[in-house]
C-alpha cells in the first residue's frame, strides 16, 4: 500500500493552490487511471487532490455557444446525454467505448485526456469537433484547442499547478454523420489497438486517429484528398492515412497490423459517413 495524503477540496482556488505549491500533488478525478498507475508504480504521488465534488467542475450545460462539460462529469453521463447523442453522437460513442459500465461511472472525460494516452478513446472524436480545453491555474484561465493539448505519450500542455476545468464543444454542431470505430482485443474493457473518428461536416470531413502515433493525430492527407482534391473513392483516400501516422509495436498489436487496421477503419468510417 502506498503512503500519501488525500485532500478533498471545497473550492477550485484551493485545489489550484495546493497543486501549484506542492510537489507530487495530483488531481484525483475518477481515479481509474491513477489507482491502476499507482499500483503499477507509474505514479508516486505525495498528495491526491480530490476534485470530483468541486461545484466549478460539475458544470454540464448547453447554451447558444455550445456544450460545456466540466472536468468532474463522468463518461456515462456524457454517453447518456440527450443533446450529445442527438447532435454529436461521435463523442457519445467515444465516451461509451471506454472500459465497461462500472468504469464509466467513475472515469471522467477530463481524466481521459489528461492521462494523455495516445489511445485515449475520447481524443479522436474531440479532434474532429474543434473542442477547446479550458484550463485554470495559478496565473488565471486559458483555453487551448484539443490538438495542442496533447504533446506526447502521457504528456499534455498543462503547466505546473494547472488543471482542466472543462471541455467545450462549440456550435455549430456538425451537419453530417460522425462515427468512432475502435479495434481492440476484446469487445469491452480494453484500450484501442486503433481508434478512428470520422466526422462529416456537410461541406467537408474531419478525421482523427488514435493509438498510431505519439499522440492522437488528424489524418490531414486523407482530409485533403477528399476536401480539396475531390477524391471520391474511400478506398483510395484511406490509403493516404499512412502519411499521417507513426505506429509502434506493443502488446496490443504490431506496427504492421496497425498500419493495416487504420486504413481499413478509415475506409469504413468514410463509407459510413460520407457515402464516398
Partner 1 sequence: MRDKKIIKFTVNGNSEEREAVVGETLLKFIRDELNLTGTKSGCEIGECGACTVLLDGKPVNSCLVLAVELDGKDLLTIEGLSKNGELDRLQQAFIDHAAFQCGYCTPGMIMAARSLLERNANPNDDEINEALSGNLCRCGAYQEIRDAVKDSAKK
Ligand X SMILES: Cc1cc2nc3c(=O)[nH]c(=O)nc-3n(C[C@H](O)[C@H](O)[C@H](O)COP(=O)(O)OP(=O)(O)OC[C@H]3O[C@@H](n4cnc5c(N)ncnc54)[C@H](O)[C@@H]3O)c2cc1C
Residues that bind partner 1 in the complex, under the rule CB under 8 A? 1-6, 8, 30-32, 35-36, 39-40, 48, 50, 99-103, 105-106, 188-189
**Is residue 211 a contact point for ligand X (CB under 6 A)?**
no
108 touches which of ligand X, partner 1, none (CB within 5 to 8 A by kind)? ligand X
Q: CB of 172: closest distance to ligand X in angstroms? A: 27
Integer Rg of the chain from CA: 19
Q: CB of 131: closest distance to partner 1 in angstroms? A: 26
Q: Which stretch binds ligand X (CB under 6 A): 10-18, 29-37, 227-235, 261-269?
A: 29-37
d(CA 198, CA 222): 11
Strand partners, 179: 198
112 touches which of partner 1, ligand X, none (CB within 5 to 8 A by kind)? ligand X
- Which three cell numbers, joined as nine digits, stand for 260? 493495416
Residue 113 to residues 32, 59, 123: CA-CA distances in angstroms? 13, 18, 7
**Is residue 108 a contact point for ligand X (CB under 6 A)?**
yes
Residue 58 buriedness (CB in 10 A; 0-12 / 13-18 / 19+): middle
Query: To 10 degrees, what angle do helices 255-273 and 220-227 make?
Result: 30
Q: Which residues bind ligand X (CB under 6 A)?
A: 26-34, 36, 51, 71, 98-99, 103, 106-108, 110-112, 114-115, 117, 119-121, 158, 163-164, 189-191
Amino acid at each position: 500500500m502506498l503512503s500519501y495524503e488525500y485532500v478533498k477540496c471545497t473550492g477550485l482556488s484551493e485545489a489550484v493552490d495546493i497543486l501549484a505549491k506542492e510537489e507530487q500533488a495530483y488531481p484525483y478525478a475518477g481515479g481509474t487511471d491513477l489507482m491502476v498507475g499507482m499500483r503499477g508504480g507509474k505514479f508516486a504521488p505525495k498528495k491526491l487532490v480530490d476534485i470530483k465534488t468541486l461545484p466549478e467542475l460539475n458544470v454540464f450545460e448547453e447554451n447558444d455557444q455550445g456544450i460545456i462539460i466540466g472536468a468532474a462529469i463522468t463518461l456515462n453521463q456524457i454517453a447518456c446525454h440527450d443533446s450529445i447523442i442527438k447532435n454529436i453522437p461521435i463523442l457519445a460513442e467515444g465516451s461509451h467505448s471506454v472500459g465497461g459500465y462500472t468504469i464509466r461511472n467513475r472515469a471522467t472525460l477530463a481524466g481521459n485526456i489528461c492521462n494523455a494516452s495516445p489511445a485515449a478513446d475520447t481524443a479522436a472524436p474531440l479532434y474532429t469537433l474543434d473542442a477547446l480545453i479550458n484550463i485554470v491555474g495559478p496565473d488565471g484561465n486559458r483555453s487551448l484547442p484539443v490538438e495542442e493539448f496533447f504533446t506526447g505519450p502521457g504528456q499534455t500542455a498543462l503547466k505546473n499547478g494547472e488543471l482542466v476545468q472543462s471541455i467545450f464543444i462549440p456550435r455549430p454542431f456538425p451537419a453530417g454523420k460522425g462515427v468512432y470505430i475502435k479495434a481492440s482485443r476484446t469487445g469491452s474493457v480494453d484500450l484501442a489497438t486503433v481508434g478512428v473518428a470520422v466526422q462529416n461536416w456537410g461541406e467537408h470531413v474531419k478525421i482523427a486517429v488514435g493509438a498510431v502515433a505519439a499522440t492522437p493525430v488528424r489524418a490531414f492527407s486523407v482530409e485533403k484528398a477528399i476536401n480539396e482534391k475531390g477524391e471520391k473513392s474511400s478506398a483510395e483516400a484511406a490509403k493516404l492515412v499512412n502519411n499521417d501516422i507513426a505506429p509502434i509495436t506493443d502488446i496490443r498489436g504490431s506496427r504492421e497490423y496497425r498500419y493495416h487496421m487504420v486504413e481499413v477503419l478509415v475506409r469504413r468510417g468514410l463509407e459510413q459517413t460520407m457515402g464516398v
